Structure 1
Amino acid sequence: MSDRTELVQRYLAAWNATVPAERDALIAETFTENAGYTDPMGSVRGHAALAATIAAVQEQFAGLEFTLGGPVDAHHELVRFTWHLGRPGGAPLVVGFDVAEVAEDGRIAAVHGFLDQVPAA
């Protein structure tokens, strides 16, 4: 299970990376070239689209960081985990969970994201 937990930690690190070159390197290390990402806010495919999505989320939620919200659960090529988005050391403002499909090379091929708690409009 530790390899799946490490994969999820790299995934969250990509979402937290604010330096574009660092973010791009983490995306390349963590996602297959044609990886898909879908959540209630949209759907994208490929490294460039993932980088743009992450940058947009960082702009919207400046100063917040993603953290793992509990244990990583995995079977076969699937990994699910809860994540929190909030100020470091504070209560999460957003809580969600993702299900990731892991490719044979150990990178993420697709992510299906769900939002469990979001701030009021």
Structure 2
Amino acid sequence: MSDFDAIAHAYIDLWNETDAGARQERIEQLFAADGRYTDPLADVTGHSQIDAMISAVQQQFPGMTFTLAGPVDAHHSQARFGWKLGPAGKESLIDGFDVLERNDDGRLTLVLGFLDKVPSA
């Protein structure tokens, strides 16, 4: 398993962590203090804003889990991978992919999220 495979797994585990204290610890371990996350629906910077965004997603999609979709593709200080969000063992509700960039300490400095499949209104 490469460093980025481990980071991608830790990142998905972070999105699935519902305990607020444990989630905050994971964010601090995974993200640089000024780490930024941006996707079509959010653009946040720093540990507290990242935590608030993840908490909001969990409240919007209760009981659903994120899973990796396919291999992690990485080079230099960046990686990309697909993910799915949905009920365990059932078809996903949302599919997307994220591009991560890490610093020399291995912490995430930037996450760019893209949505490939979203629910219709």
Q: Which amino acid aligns with 1:79?
A: A
Residue 57 (structure 2) pairs with residue 37 (structure 1): no
TM-score (norm 1): 0.98
Aligned-pair distance for 1:2?
A: 1.8
RMSD of aligned residue pairs (Cα, Å): 0.8
Structure 2: stretches of 5+ with no match in the other structure: none
In structure 2, how many angstroms separate the alpha carbons of the residues matched to 1:90 and 1:3?
A: 29
Alignment: residue pair count: 121
In structure 2, how many angstroms separate the alpha carbons of the residues matched to 1:42 and 1:55?
A: 13
In structure 2, how many angstroms separate the alpha carbons of the residues matched to 1:36 and 1:91?
A: 30
In structure 1, how many angstroms separate the alpha carbons of the residues matched to 2:72 and 2:36?
A: 20
Match of 1:70 in 2: 70
TM-score (norm 2): 0.98
Please list every run of at least 4 consecutive aligned residues from structure 1 whose deviation after the TM superposition is greater than 3 angstroms. none
In structure 1, how many angstroms separate the alpha carbons of the residues matched to 2:77 and 2:107?
A: 10
Match of 2:51 in 1: 51
In structure 1, how many angstroms separate the alpha carbons of the residues matched to 2:30 and 2:74?
A: 17
